[in-house]
Structures are given as structure tokens and as C-alpha cells.
Amino acid sequence: MSKRIVVAVLALGLLAALAALAVTFGASGQPDRLAQAVEATANTTPSPAPTETPTITPAATASATSTATPSPTSSPTPTVTPTPTPNPYLAYTVEGLRTRAYPGGEISITSYWEETDAFTRYYITYPSDDLTISGMMAVPKGQGPFPVIILNHGYIPPSEYWTGADTYDASTYLASRGFLTISPDFRGWGRSDSGENIFRTGLAIDVMNLISSLPSLPQADPARVGIWGHSMGGGAVSWVMAVDPRVKASLLYAPVSADARDRRRFGGGSGNPSGDDRLWSDDPTFLDKISPINYFDAVSGVVQIHQGTADATTPPRWAEAIQRALQAAGKQVEYFSYEGQGHALRGDAWRAFMQRTADFFAANL
């Protein structure tokens, strides 16, 4: 547009110049030429200046900015919590023994031993788990079925033990008064098979399988069962009365402690953890779980305890602790103390003990 204005201005300027010339030539006698020039100039339409086509500068093509694909954020590697190894000894706690089965089996008379006016004594065997347990049985004369007392012996080195050791005299006394008595040798003693006896629970397992086997004896009344135990056998009684409700009356004679914290020597078979086993640090409460004294709330029958005051093998405080725990659990318990007597009662103390034993079972079976 600005260029057209410039051209028009120049044309007007040219016309003014020609007009001035015309005046000059008119004076000089050349009118025709001036007129022709003016006409020619007037008739000449100035050609419009070519419109300048604006050069379009192409917009810079936006280069596609490559979008950076974000690298995947690395997730932290999850911490793998190791699965705790199941405690292989839980089956040998009081709760563990409560959940397992005691199928027992048939009590077999393997041979005749002796006969008195009051009873006949036999050697027997019966099954306990996959083991054969040997023992001694005394059956009263007369019409049965008879109440049963299971007599559990104390610790005697297996190489020195003989069937009936530590229970023969008690068996004679009780069988003469109408009780069918059975004295199991326990696994690893007598003619029994050897087997697992972790925390000495094998002894209690043998007793409970024996109770389950009683229906195989026509002379036995399986609804009237009492248990008696001396020393280690008293420990077996503590386990059984905390686990098995079939027992109607339990007698402990100079028993080992029912608290595993008092005794870390479990003996009587392989498979026991060592003193530095991780078991004890991994579960500081495990000793409580293998201590029958903490489970006397389940005792279903009455209890009687006999203890010599001079016993250096199983100190009186162990028997007294059992008494207190039973009382705290609301159970019926009698405690008899024998002044000056040691681990095995002698003389008048023994006779008084056995009379009280017979009276106790007669009243409760």
C-alpha cells in the first residue's frame, strides 16, 4: 500500500512540472507540443505498483521433542522374613501330650511268676506306640473285675533293673487286699523295647497306653484306675494326672519335681536337647510348657503325697511345691511327712505308708 502512494505522489509532481513547462512553452510559441505532452501524460494511468507478495516465512516446524520414557522406579527388594522353624519338641509338652492318642492294645500274659493265697503274679507285655513294654501283673483271687493300681518304679540304672524292682513289695501288699496291680518296666527297662523318652514323657506315654489297654483284661475294671509312683515314677504320675482324666486317684511317693526348672537332666533315652540347645533361648517359656505343675487345673481325681523329711535324693520342697500347686488349683490333696526318713521309707514308716496307700485307693476307686 505505501508503494502505491509513492507512485501517485510522483505522478502529481510530474504533472505539475509539465504544467510549468506549458506556461514556459506558451510564451515561446510551442503550445501544441506542450498540450500533447500534457495530454499524453494525463492519459497515462500509472500502473499500480506490483503488490509485494509478502514472503511467508514458514514457522519453524517444532521438532517433536522426544519425551523421555521414565525409567521404572526400582521397587525396594522386599525383606524376606524367614519362616520360623517349627519347634520339634512341642509334641512333648503337657499340651502336646493332651492332643495325641493313646491307643494301647492287648495286655498279654507271657509267663507265670508265682501264686499266693491272695493273688497270682505274671509277666506281661503290652503295646505303647510302636514299642513292646514288659512288666509285672498281680491278679487277686476271687470274682472280678477288680480296681486297678498302676505302680511306677523309680530310677534304677537299666543294667541293674529287674522286672518288679521298686514295686514288688507294694504290689504284694495291694494285691493281697483286692487290687489288680500292674508294674510297667517302661521303655528301655527290663525286657521292654527302647524308644524315645524326651523329657521323660515316654514314661507317661507308656502309662497312658497301659490304661487304654485295660479293657483287654476281663479281670480289670477300666473305670476304676489309680496310679502310684516313686521318685522318677512319681514324675510320671505328675505328667499323667495333668494329662489323662481317666485317672481317679494319684499317689506320689518321694516324687521328682513337677517343675522342669528344678531339673534340667531328663535322661532315660536319646533325643533330649542339650543344655545349650537353641530351644531354651528361642522360647524362654518352654520349661513352663514341660512342667506338669503348671497344669494341675486338669487333675480329675484326688491326690495323696508321701515324703521323708531326710530325703536327699528328692528334697521335700519338691513334694511341698506339688502340694501347694494342687491346692492353688482347688484340688483335693493329702500330704504325709515322715520324720527322719530318707528316699525309701523303712520299718514303721513303710507300714504306715502302705496302710494309708491301701485306704486311699479303697476310698477313691
Q: What is the pLDDT of residue 12?
A: 55
Q: What is the pLDDT of residue 270?
A: 57
Which cell numbers in the block locate residue 44?
A: 497515462
Q: What is the pLDDT of residue 73?
A: 61
pTM listed for this prediction: 0.77
In whole angstroms, what separates CA 9 from the centre of its chain?
A: 112
Q: What is the pLDDT of residue 241?
A: 97
Distance CA 191, CA 131 (A): 11
The domain covering 93-364 belongs, at the CATH homologous superfamily level, to Alpha/Beta hydrolase fold, catalytic domain (3.40.50.1820)
Q: Hey, what long-range contacts does 194-197 have (CB within 8 A, 24 or more apart)? A: 194/131, 194/269, 195/128, 195/129, 195/130, 195/131, 195/269, 196/269, 196/270, 196/271, 197/266, 197/268, 197/269, 197/270, 197/271, 197/272
Q: What is the pLDDT of residue 276?
A: 64
Give, for 358, the enclosing helix (H) or strand (E): helix 347-364
Give the type of residue at 95: E
Q: Using an 8 Å Cβ cutoff, are 104 and 213 in contact? A: yes
Torsion angle, alpha carbons of 91, 282, 195, 105, to 10: -10
Could you state, in chain order, the average pLDDT of each consecutive group of 10 residues for the chain (365 residues)? 48 50 42 39 43 45 49 63 76 97 98 98 97 98 97 98 98 98 98 95 98 98 98 98 98 97 61 70 86 97 98 98 98 98 98 98 98
Judged by DSSP in three states, 26 sits in: helix
The label of the residue with cell 492318642 reads: 101
Distance CA 157, CA 136 (A): 18
Q: What is the pLDDT of residue 169?
A: 98
The CA-atom distances, in angstroms, between 45 and each of 4, 11, 15 are: 12, 9, 12
Q: What is the pLDDT of residue 278?
A: 73
Q: What is the pLDDT of residue 44?
A: 41
Q: Using an 8 Å Cβ cutoff, are 354 and 306 in contact? A: no
Q: 201-227 as b/e, with b when 16 or more CB fall inside 10 Å?
A: bbbbbbbbbbbbbbeebebbbeebbbb
Strands 302-308 and 333-338: parallel
Beta-carbon count within 10 A of 352 CB: 14
Helix 201-213 with 232-243: angle, nearest 10 deg: 60
Q: What is the pLDDT of residue 281?
A: 66
Torsion angle, alpha carbons of 360, 200, 113, 168, to 10: -40
Q: What is the pLDDT of residue 46?
A: 43
Distance CA 177, CA 183 (A): 16
